[in-house]
Amino acid sequence: MNMLICEAALNNRQTAVLTVRQMEDVDRLSVAAGVTSYELMANAGAAIAHQIERHWTPRPVVVLCGPGNNGGDGFVTAHVLAEAGWPVRVAMLGSRFSLKDEARHHARRWQGDVEALSPSVLEGAELIVDALFGAGLGRPLEGQALATLAAASEGGVPIIAIDMPSGVMGDTGEAVGAVPAALTITFLCKKPGHLLLPGRDLCGEVIVVDIGTPKAVVDSIAPRIFENSPAVWLASLPGVKTTTDKHSRGHALIFGGYPMTGAARMAARGAARAGAGLTTIAVPEIALSIYAAALDSIMVRPWVTPEDIGHLLNGSRFSAWLIGSGAGVDKETFGHVLAMLASGRPTVLDADAITAFQDEPGVLDRAINGPCVLTPHEGEFRRVFDAAGDKLTRTRAAAFRCGAVVVLKGSDTVIAAPDGTAVINANAPPTLATAGSGDVLSGIILGLLAQGMPAFASAAAGVWLHGEAAAEFGPGLLADDLPNLLPGVLRRLHEVWLPVEATQAHVSVSHSD
Which residues on adjacent β-strands are paired with residue 186?
208
Residue 512 has pLDDT above 60, yes or no: no
How far apart are the C-alpha atoms of 432 and 100, rounded to whole Å? Answer: 48
For residue 227, the SS3 value is strand
Name every residue whose Cβ is closer than 8 Å to that of residue 470 and which is 6 or more positions away in sequence: 428, 429, 431, 432, 437, 477, 482, 485
- At residue 239, the pLDDT reads 78
Same-domain status, 212 and 292: no
- At residue 507, the pLDDT reads 44
Confidence band, pLDDT 50/70/90 cuts, at residue 436: very high
Provide the CA 487 distance to its chain's centre, in angstroms: 23
- Give binding residues as ranges: 69-73, 130, 134-140, 163, 166, 263, 326, 377, 409-413, 438-439
Residue 496 has pLDDT above 90, yes or no: no
Among 177, 202, 222, give the residue marking a domain's end: 222
308 domain residue, yes or no:
yes
- At residue 240, the pLDDT reads 64
Kindly report, residue by residue over 82-123, the tens digit of the pLDDT.
Answer: 999 999 999 999 998 889 999 999 999 999 999 999 999 999
Q: What is the pTM of this model?
A: 0.92
5 domain residue, yes or no:
no
Name every residue whose Cβ is closer than 8 Å to that of residue 1 and which is 6 or more positions away in sequence: 403, 417, 418, 419, 455, 456, 511, 512, 513
Same-domain status, 176 and 306: no
7 domain residue, yes or no:
no
13 domain residue, yes or no:
no
Same-domain status, 333 and 459: yes
How far apart are the C-alpha atoms of 258 and 10, rounded to whole Å? Answer: 48
Same-domain status, 467 and 420: yes
- Give binding residues for AMP as ranges: 409-413, 438
Residue 441 has pLDDT above 90, yes or no: yes
Same-domain status, 155 and 253: no
CATH code for position 34: 3.40.50.10260
Q: Which domain holds residue 405?
A: 230-512
Phi, psi dihedrals of residue 195, rounded to the nearest 5°: -115, -30
Burial category of 186 from C-beta neighbours within 10 Å (exposed 0-12, middle 13-18, buried 19 and up): buried
How far apart are the C-alpha atoms of 1 and 195, rounded to whole Å? Answer: 26
How far apart are the C-alpha atoms of 129 and 125, rounded to whole Å? Answer: 10
Helix (H) or strand (E) holding 282: strand 278-284
Same-domain status, 263 and 298: yes
277 domain residue, yes or no:
yes
Kindly report, residue by residue over 170-183, the tens digit of the pLDDT.
Answer: 999 999 999 999 99
Among 222, 244, 265, give the residue marking a domain's end: 222
Kindly report, residue by residue over 443-489, the tens digit of the pLDDT.
Answer: 999 999 999 999 999 999 999 999 999 999 999 999 999 999 999 99
420 domain residue, yes or no:
yes
- At residue 4, the pLDDT reads 40
**Number of structural domains in the chain:** 2
Residue 68 has pLDDT above 90, yes or no: yes
- Give binding residues for (6S)-NADPHX as ranges: 69-73, 134-140, 163, 263, 326, 377, 439
Among 189, 206, 222, give the residue marking a domain's end: 222
Amino acid in position 428: A
286 domain residue, yes or no:
yes
Kindly report, residue by residue over 317-352, the tens digit of the pLDDT.
Answer: 899 999 998 898 999 999 999 999 999 999 999 999
Residue 513 has pLDDT above 60, yes or no: no
Residue 295 CB coordination number (10 Å)? 17
- At residue 12, the pLDDT reads 52
What percent of the chain is predicted at pLDDT more than 70?
92
Name every residue whose Cβ is closer than 8 Å to that of residue 194 and which is 6 or more positions away in sequence: 17, 164, 173, 184, 186, 200, 203, 206
Which residues on adjacent β-strands are paired with residue 509?
5
8 domain residue, yes or no:
no
Q: Please choose, from the candidates 45, 59, 44, the residue with its C-alpha nearest in 3D space to the C-alpha of residue 157.
A: 59
- First and final C-alpha spacing in the chain: 5
Q: Please choose, from the candidates 242, 244, 243, 238, the residue with its C-alpha nearest in 3D space to the C-alpha of residue 275.
A: 238
Counting Cα atoms < 13 Å in the Cβ hemisphere of 395 gives 28
| Distance (Å) of CA 60 to CA 57, 90, 182 | 10, 11, 16
How far apart are the C-alpha atoms of 366 and 362, rounded to whole Å? Answer: 6
Same-domain status, 459 and 325: yes
Q: Please choose, from the candidates 144, 89, 152, the residue with its C-alpha nearest in 3D space to the C-alpha of residue 118.
A: 144
CATH code for position 477: 3.40.1190.20
Same-domain status, 110 and 189: yes
Same-domain status, 310 and 375: yes
- Give binding residues for K(+) as ranges: 70, 130, 166
Read off the pLDDT of each residue in 381-394 and give the average, rounded to a whole number.
Answer: 96
CB 207 within 8 A of CB 215: no
Same-domain status, 156 and 261: no
Read off the pLDDT of each residue in 424-440 and give the average, rounded to a whole number.
Answer: 97
Same-domain status, 218 and 236: no
Same-domain status, 234 and 175: no
DSSP letters of 170-219? Answer: TTT--BSS----SEEEEESSB-GGGTSTTHHHHH-EEEEE-----HHHHH
The one-character DSSP state at 488 is: H
List the single range of 13-17, 205-209, 274-278 with lowest mean pLDDT.
Answer: 13-17
pLDDT mean across residues, the chain: 91
